[in-house]
Structure 1
């Protein structure tokens, strides 16, 4: 079993650090990060959400829960906006008529995270175990629901009969040349930033060493997780 620990530390030097420890037959993967770096990852994907992405999934706050919940909603709100922009740019004319289930954003975000950083599939499989799946989905959905409510207040979306629609103002904004240019490079930029992060810290080798004893299960689990998410999302 792997336990991930994220430490967000004020004025932490060095800015980033990671290490793996074994305690009571459990592998503990520890990430320590300066709060400025962490907040930039939340606000604009400074590290491709390599660290901030941990609070997309359920977590147990040991200290400063209010701070973490605030950052969680801020992150999920930004990721929802990015997904909305992608929908508009992919379907510029149809986007006015889309009726989207709120849970779409949660499942699409999870799939995107695992595509960019495959080791997250292991964590996702643990979250989707039958005995804890319902509870974990509720925990993840709460932050997304709060983010959607804020976006509704800001005029980005409108709710109707359990679905949401993209506002005309947002569609026009997303179709602008500036937003199109930003979206064109966003995916490649996130991948590059995350790769740089994992290379500098040596995180990827550490993670893969943790999973090396069950390589076949890991590769098989990635496919199963994506198939299950696609079924739930569909």
Structure 2
């Protein structure tokens, strides 16, 4: 029985650690992508491909995205295992589905950014305006219009499940709902607002780690 209890307690700790790594990787990728591939009127001249530092920023962001996706999937699986059989099937389906679609859409945005980068050959030259505009708009549309809205559904469903099962405090559930509202309403129109999602993930992960640390001594004492 003691061994089984220890195994159960390892799951939320793993979820917290995976969530921390995911949040840091995603935030870094978003920042580097924003800096490397600008958005708006200033981007019409494709300055990112006449500056080697910006090209390197995009390459670094693209290298981080697959690992961010891997840690996010681990985070989702570990959190579901921690919630256990008490979760509502409807909310659990929405939670899992939104997480999977978010990951797939994030990878699609990264692939679009990679396509933009590939047309900047040789180094130091700008791509054709049509190719630049298409790839840039595709990447940002996938990230801000679709991936962030799936992230909003993920945050909302997680907050509701956490509140119903009392595995999250009220303030953290409200923070998740506020994060979801922000991503739904302003993510597509306010630059850098997508950083709200990794920030929320980081807070949630740190709470899971701290809560697990408090639960471990109590379980050991009961055993």
Q: Comparing both chains, which one has the higher relative contact order based on Cα–Cα distances under 8 Å and sequence gaps of 6 or more?
A: 2
Which has more radius of gyration? 2
| TM-score calculated relative to the size of structure 2 | 0.30
| TM-score calculated relative to the size of structure 1 | 0.29
Q: Name the structure with the higher helix share.
A: 2
